[in-house]
Structure 1
Amino acid sequence: MEDERHNIEVALVDKELMHIVFGFLRFTDLASISAVCRASEVTRVLIRGRVLSIGTVGHAGLGYCLLDPAPMQWRMISALASETIVHIATTPEKYDRHHTLAVTHSGAVYAFGDYADGKLGLGHTTGISYTPQIVSALLSEKIIKTIGSNDSVKPFIVDLWCGRAVTLLLDSEGTLYSFGVSSSLGRADSRSGRPLPLQFPAGVKIKSAAMGYNHGLAITTQGEVYSWGSGVHGRLGHGDEQDANAPRLISALASAKATQVACGPEHSLVLTEDNTLYTFGRVLKGQLGYVEGAVESVPWVVEDVAGLGVISAISAAAGQSAVLFESGRVMGLGCGELKKENWLVPAQLVAGEDSVFLVC
C-alpha cells in the first residue's frame, strides 16, 4: 500500500484555500482505483477496497482524528482497514457539516462526520464522529440480506450518495432510500433518522442517482429521469421553480434514455445514451454556458461539447461543470482553474489531458 500511496497525484489548483477546484487522479495501476470523492478540504480515494484520505487537520471527513499540524499526506482510514470497501460518498463541497458513508463488500454501511440532521443514521443529531461507525439501523432494517444455501452474504446496498442534510441508498432491487432532514428526502415527511423508500410511482426501479445540496436526480432502469427537492432557480428541470416533495418525472427528458446525472448546488446535468449533455438550473459562474444570473428551468443541450468525443463522466459543483471524455480530455464550464475567469463555453483544462477520474 505504501508504494501505491506515492503513486497518487491530485491537482490542488487553489492551494491557499486548500480547495480542489478540479481534481485529476493518476495511478500506475488504474484498475486498482474504484472511486474518488472529495469535499472542500478533504479528498478520499478507494483503492483495492481500502480508503485513503488527505486534507485539513481536524477535519471530520478524514475518517480519523488528526490534530498534529504535520504536512498533509495520504493516510489509510485504519477503522476501515479490515473491511473491503466497495462504495464511498461524501457531502457536496463548500458545506461545513460534512458526512461520509462507505459500503463494504458484505453490505455493511459505515458513517462518519457531522451528526447534524441525523444524516449519519447513527441515532444522533449533534456532535461529530471522527472515525467510521457501523450504521446498525441498516442491519435492523434488513438492508443486508442473507441468501443462498451456503448462507453467503449479498450486499443489499449497491450505491449511495450524500446531500447537504440527506443520505441516499440504492438497493439491489432498484429501491432508493433516504434519511436525514430536508425537502430532498423525496417523500412527504421532511425528517427521518432511518432509511425509508422514496415515493416513486409503482413499478419504477432506479439504477443510479445524484444529490445536490437540496435536490436530487434519479435514473430509472428505463432511462427516465426523476427529480425532487428544492425547485428554486429551475434546478429540477420541470419548467418552473416549484418544490417537489416526491420524485417527479422530467417530461422533457422522457424519451432521452439517460445514463448519468450530476447535481451542483443550484444546477443539474444529464447525459444520455446518444452522448447528448443536458443542463438546467441557475448560472452562478457560467457553468451552464450562460451569463451569470441566468436561469434555465427546462433541460437544454450543451451544443459546445457535441462532436468532441464520447463522454465517459460528468461532474457538477458550486459554479462549475466538467466533462470527461473517453480520450482522457477534460472540458470545464464555469469557474476557471484559478477562479480568475469564468468559461461560458467549454474550455480544455491543461491538467486534464490524460485523466481517468473526474472530481468536480
Structure 2
Amino acid sequence: MYTRGEADWTDVGLTSQTEDDIKLEDNFFHQPDSKNKPLLLKNEKILIVDCGATHVVLVSETGQIFERNYREQAEAAHPRLLSSLSDRKIIQIACGNHHSLALSRDGQLFTWGQNTNGQLGLGKGEPSKPSPQSLKSLSGIPLAQIAAGGDHSFAVSLSGAVYTWGRNHAGQLGLGNTTERFSPTLVKSLQLKKTVFISCGEEHTAILTKDGIVYTFGAGSFGQLGHNSTRDEVRPRLVAELWGEKVSQIACGGHHTVAYISSTNKVYSFGCGEQGQLGTGQNINQEVPVPLTLSAANENTLTVDKIVAGGNQTFVLCSQIEKLEPSANMFPSSTGKGIFSINDNLLDKWISECESKWKNTNKKIAWVFSSPSCLNGSFLEQSNDKHFKTTTETAGMDLSLVRLAFEKLAKNTKVLMQVESVVLNKLLPSLTGAPAGVEALRVYLIIPELFRALKTPQSIKEVASSLAEAILRLRPSSIQILDGRNMNGKIHIRDTLCFSYHAVLYPIQTCFRVLVVKATHCNLQVGCDDIPFCIQPVPSQGVNSNAGNRIQENKFYIAEIGLFQSVTFVDENSVDHGGLSQEFFSVITREMHTLEPGIFKLYEDCRLVWFIPMSAKNRNRNSDMFFLIGVLCGMALYNRCVAEFHFPLALFKKLLKEKPTLEDLRELSPTEARSLQTVLDEDEDSVDSLYLDFTVQGRELVLNGKDILVTKYNRFQYVEAYVDFVFNKSVKKQFDGFMKGFRKGCPSKMWKIFLPVELMAILNGNTKYEWEELEKNVKYKGYKPTDENIRNFWKVFHELDEEQKKHFLAFLTASQEEEGWPVSASP
C-alpha cells in the first residue's frame, strides 16, 4: 500500500496484500492520537470503518454498528453499540464531519449526528439527532450507495438517480444554486447519466458514471474540481482532462480529488497539495488532473486495487499483477454489498430449502417482501443498461421477470402463502402517498403480477383491496404516471396494468364496498363511510389515442363492474340490472333538495339550485357535504343513470373549465341579469348617476372595490366581475369540494370530451320523450310485437296523457326486473 501525506509517496510495506488482507485487526481500532490506544471490540470482526472529524463508525461482520465519539467518550475504550440498529444488517456507512449515514440490507437509510445545515435530511427545523433516524422521505428508492461530505450528503439509486441534501454554500449539492436543502432533492442534471458512484470532500463532490466519466461540482478554490480554474461550480461539470479515458475509481479528500484508470493502471490527482496529499513530489495545488508514479521500482509489477482519500491524505492499495488482473468495471463501494433483491438463485433456494431451513427462508422472505426498496431494486431491465433510462415514461424494469418470479414462487404453497402474508400485512400498508421518485412506483407494477400466482379468490380479494387503498393514497402526480398520462405512447406499462386489473377485479367485485341503500317510504340513510370508490384503470383519452399501439377500450373498461350492482330497497327484493340504480338516483336527488338550509339556494324563477356564498354563518360548514354530493353526481354519470340535480348550465361549464357568462346568470337569476344588462345598455352619461361601486352585498368584487365607482368606462369590467363573483369567487370552497367528489365518483375521464350542454343533457336526461321511438326500440322476451298482448299494451299506453306516461315509464324502468314482466325498455 502506498500512502501520501508528505512530499512524495511512501511504501508502508503492504504491496503484496489485497484489500481483505488490510482489514483492521479483528478486535481493535486505533484512536487518532499520539498514544495509539486500541478500541476494544471483543468477539467482533470489523468489516467496514469510516471516520468523521471527531468520530469513528464501525460495522461488524454480523452487521452490527458501533460508534466512538471522541468528544463524548474521552475516557471510554469501547465504542458504543447503536442498539436502535441492532436488528438491522448494516451494509454501508458514510461519515461527514459531524454526521453519519447507514444503509441497511433491506434498503432503509438512517442518519444521525449534527443537523445544523440539514445534513441529516429530516426536514427543516429538525434538531441534531444523537441516535439513528429513518430517512422515510427516500422510502421505496432502491439505493446503491451513500456518501457524506463535510456537511452534505448524497444517495444514488440502482438506476442512477442522485439525491442530495445539506449545506450548499459552494454549490456542492449540484442543484444549480447555493440554497441549503433540508430534505433529499433529486439532482435533475444527473438524470440519465448512469451514475454509479459518488465521493464527497469537505465542500465539493465528484460523480462517476458507468461509462467512466467524471463530473465534479462545489468548491473549487484549491483546483479540486479539475477544471483548470479555482471557480466554484453549482452544477455537475465534466472533467475534460479525463475525457476519453474510462475512469474506474474516484475518491475525494478534504480539498483534493483522486481518480484511477484501470486500463492504463494510472492514478491521477488534483486539488490542494499543500501537505503533499497529491503525491506529485511538490507541496503545490493542481487545477487539472496529473498522473502519478507510485514507485519506479515496482510500477510495472503492481496493479491498483483501491484508492482512498482522507482529509489531507491519500492511500493506494496495490497487489501484484499476476495475483489480480485490473478490472475496467471495478467500481468502488463501501462494502461491495448491496440491498437485498430477488433473483432466480434465491427463489430456487427458497423453494428447495423450504422445509429444512424454513426459519432462515422465512426471515429472508420477510426482508425482501416487506421492503418496497428491495422489490423496486429487483427485476431491473439490464439489457443495454435500460434501467438507467428510468423516467416518467419508462419504469426501467422487466415485467416478464416479475411474472416468472411469481410463477416460480407459486410452485411452493408454503412459500407463496408467506409472501402473500408479508405483502398484505407489511408491504402494502407501509407504502407512502408521496414517493420520492419514479423508481419508488415500480412496486405498483410488481404486485398486480402476484394476482396470477395466488390460489384462492379470498387471497386475491384481500391483496387487491389493500393495493387499491395504497393507490388511493398516492398524490395525483404519481397516479398520472401510473395511469399512463405521461407515458408518451409507451404501451408496455399501461397494457400490463390494464390486463392485470381486468383479469383480477371482475372476478372479485366483492372486494369493493358496495353501497346498500336502505329506504323505507323514500327516507334514505346514506352514511359518509358507505360511499364506495371503484378503481378502473382508464387511461387518458389523449394518450390512448396518440399511442402507437392503441389499447382497445375492452382491455381497460370493465363494463361488468358497476357501483350499484347490489342496490337494494327494503321490502323490494329484486335483481339489479340497472333499474334499481336508476331509481336510487331518482330518489336521492329528490331527497337532496330537502337537505338542511345552507347547502344550496333554490332560485324560484327557474327552479334551479346553486351554492350559497360563504358567510360568517356558514363559514365552518363541513365541506364533506359538497364532496359527497359531487360523488353522487359523478357516480350517476359513471353508471349512465339520469339524475336531475337541478344545476344550471354554469356548473357543467365549470366542470369543463369554461368561464360562465352573463347568459348563465340570466338562466339562474333573471332579475339580477336584467339589472346588469341595464348597466350595459344605459346611456353613457347616465351610468354615473347609478351610484354603483364594485361591491355586492357588502363584499368587494375587486381589490378596494368599495372605493371604485362604476362608470361608462369600466361598466363591462363591473359586469364581468359580478358574474365571476357569483359563479366563482363566492363559492370557490364549495365548488372545489364538489369537483373533487365528482372526479372520485366518476373515475373515467371520457366525460371531458363533451360540451357543457351535452354533459348537462347526459346527466339530467332529455325532457322531450319520443314515445313512438320508444315503441319501435323495445326488446321483448318471449313475445313478438305482433302478439295481441303487446298490441293491447301499446294501445292503452298511447291513450294516457303525457304525465301519466312519464309516471308509468318511471315505474317501468325501476321495476322491469320483476319476474314475468314482458317488456325491457329504457328511456
1:147-226 to structure 2, matched below 5 A, reads 156-182=89-115, 183-188=118-123, 189-226=126-163
Matches of 1:22 and 1:299, distance apart in 2 = 33
Partner of 1:311: 247
Answering whether residue 175 of structure 2 is matched by residue 242 of structure 1, we say no
Unaligned runs of 5+ in 2: 274-278, 310-827
Partner of 1:123: none
* Higher RCO (C-alpha 8 Å, min separation 6): 1
Q: Which moved more, 1:287-296 or 1:225-234?
A: 287-296
Letter of the 2:50 counterpart: A
Note closer, same or farther for the CA distance 1:190–1:199 as it changes in structure 2 (3 Å cut). Answer: farther
Letter of the 1:192 counterpart: K
Answering whether residue 7 of structure 2 is matched by residue 46 of structure 1, we say no
Deviation readout 1:142-173 (Å, 9 max, x if unpaired): x344xxxxxxxxx6111111111111111112
Matches of 2:99 and 2:205, distance apart in 1 = 17
Partner of 1:119: none
Answering whether residue 9 of structure 2 is matched by residue 32 of structure 1, we say no
Q: Percent of counterpart pairs with the same letter? A: 23
1:1-360 to structure 2, matched below 5 A, reads 9-14=1-6, 26-30=14-18, 32-33=20-21, 46-47=23-24, 49=26, 53=30, 56-58=33-35, 64=37, 77=38, 79-80=40-41, 82-91=43-52, 95=53, 98-115=54-71, 126-128=72-74, 131-135=77-81, 138-139=82-83, 141=84, 143-145=85-87, 156-182=89-115, 183-188=118-123, 189-290=126-227, 293-308=230-245, 310-326=246-262, 327-336=264-273, 337=279, 340-351=283-294, 353=299, 354-360=303-309
Deviation at 1:266, TM superposition (A): 0.9
Deviation at 1:130, TM superposition (A): 5.2
Note closer, same or farther for the CA distance 1:103–1:238 as it changes in structure 2 (3 Å cut). Answer: same
Matches of 2:70 and 2:154, distance apart in 1 = 24
Matches of 1:78 and 1:194, distance apart in 2 = 21
Deviation readout 1:312-342 (Å, 9 max, x if unpaired): 3211122211102225421011133356322
Structure 1 contact 322–332 (Cα < 8 Å) conserved: yes
Matches of 2:60 and 2:11, distance apart in 1 = 25
Letter of the 1:232 counterpart: H
Matches of 1:235 and 1:229, distance apart in 2 = 9
The residue matched to 2:156 in structure 1 has which SS? Answer: strand
TM-score by length of 1: 0.73
Deviation at 1:31, TM superposition (A): 5.4
Matches of 1:296 and 1:21, distance apart in 2 = 30
The residue matched to 2:119 in structure 1 has which SS? Answer: helix
Matches of 2:305 and 2:180, distance apart in 1 = 36
Letter of the 2:255 counterpart: G
Unaligned runs of 5+ in 1: 1-8, 34-44, 65-76, 116-125, 146-154
* Higher helix proportion (structure 1 or 2): 2
The residue matched to 2:170 in structure 1 has which SS? Answer: helix
Deviation at 1:356, TM superposition (A): 2.3
Deviation at 1:297, TM superposition (A): 0.4
The residue matched to 2:77 in structure 1 has which SS? Answer: strand
Matches of 2:32 and 2:11, distance apart in 1 = 13
Matches of 1:229 and 1:192, distance apart in 2 = 15
Structure 1 contact 186–199 (Cα < 8 Å) conserved: no
The residue matched to 1:87 in structure 2 has which SS? Answer: strand
Letter of the 1:57 counterpart: S
The residue matched to 1:222 in structure 2 has which SS? Answer: coil
Matches of 1:274 and 1:84, distance apart in 2 = 35
Letter of the 2:96 counterpart: G
Matches of 1:52 and 1:179, distance apart in 2 = 22
Note closer, same or farther for the CA distance 1:23–1:242 as it changes in structure 2 (3 Å cut). Answer: farther
Letter of the 1:101 counterpart: V
Letter of the 2:119 counterpart: S
- Aligned-pair Cα RMSD in Å: 2.8
Deviation at 1:134, TM superposition (A): 3.2
Deviation at 1:54, TM superposition (A): 8.2
Structure 1 contact 184–228 (Cα < 8 Å) conserved: yes
Structure 2 contact 97–151 (Cα < 8 Å) conserved: yes
Deviation at 1:224, TM superposition (A): 0.7
Letter of the 1:108 counterpart: Q
Structure 2 contact 2–294 (Cα < 8 Å) conserved: no
Structure 2 contact 162–186 (Cα < 8 Å) conserved: yes
The residue matched to 1:252 in structure 2 has which SS? Answer: helix
Matches of 1:358 and 1:21, distance apart in 2 = 13
Deviation readout 1:113-142 (Å, 9 max, x if unpaired): 424xxxxxxxxxx4525533232xx33x3x
Matches of 1:28 and 1:13, distance apart in 2 = 21
Deviation readout 1:165-210 (Å, 9 max, x if unpaired): 1111111122110111222011121311111122434421222111
Deviation at 1:14, TM superposition (A): 1.8
Note closer, same or farther for the CA distance 1:52–1:114 as it changes in structure 2 (3 Å cut). Answer: closer
Letter of the 2:305 counterpart: V
Matches of 2:12 and 2:201, distance apart in 1 = 19
Matches of 1:306 and 1:88, distance apart in 2 = 32
Note closer, same or farther for the CA distance 1:50–1:351 as it changes in structure 2 (3 Å cut). Answer: farther
Deviation at 1:306, TM superposition (A): 2.2
The residue matched to 2:199 in structure 1 has which SS? Answer: strand
Max Rg structure: 2
Matches of 1:222 and 1:283, distance apart in 2 = 29
Matches of 1:253 and 1:242, distance apart in 2 = 18
Matches of 1:22 and 1:260, distance apart in 2 = 28
Deviation at 1:303, TM superposition (A): 1.8
Matches of 2:270 and 2:136, distance apart in 1 = 33
Matches of 1:328 and 1:131, distance apart in 2 = 41
Matches of 1:51 and 1:80, distance apart in 2 = 6
Structure 1 contact 333–344 (Cα < 8 Å) conserved: yes
Structure 1 contact 25–356 (Cα < 8 Å) conserved: no
The residue matched to 1:278 in structure 2 has which SS? Answer: strand
Q: Which moved more, 1:204-213 or 1:261-270?
A: 204-213
Matches of 1:22 and 1:99, distance apart in 2 = 26
Q: Which moved more, 1:253-262 or 1:241-250?
A: 253-262
Deviation at 1:235, TM superposition (A): 0.5
Note closer, same or farther for the CA distance 1:201–1:23 as it changes in structure 2 (3 Å cut). Answer: farther
Letter of the 1:340 counterpart: N
The residue matched to 2:174 in structure 1 has which SS? Answer: coil
Deviation at 1:286, TM superposition (A): 0.6
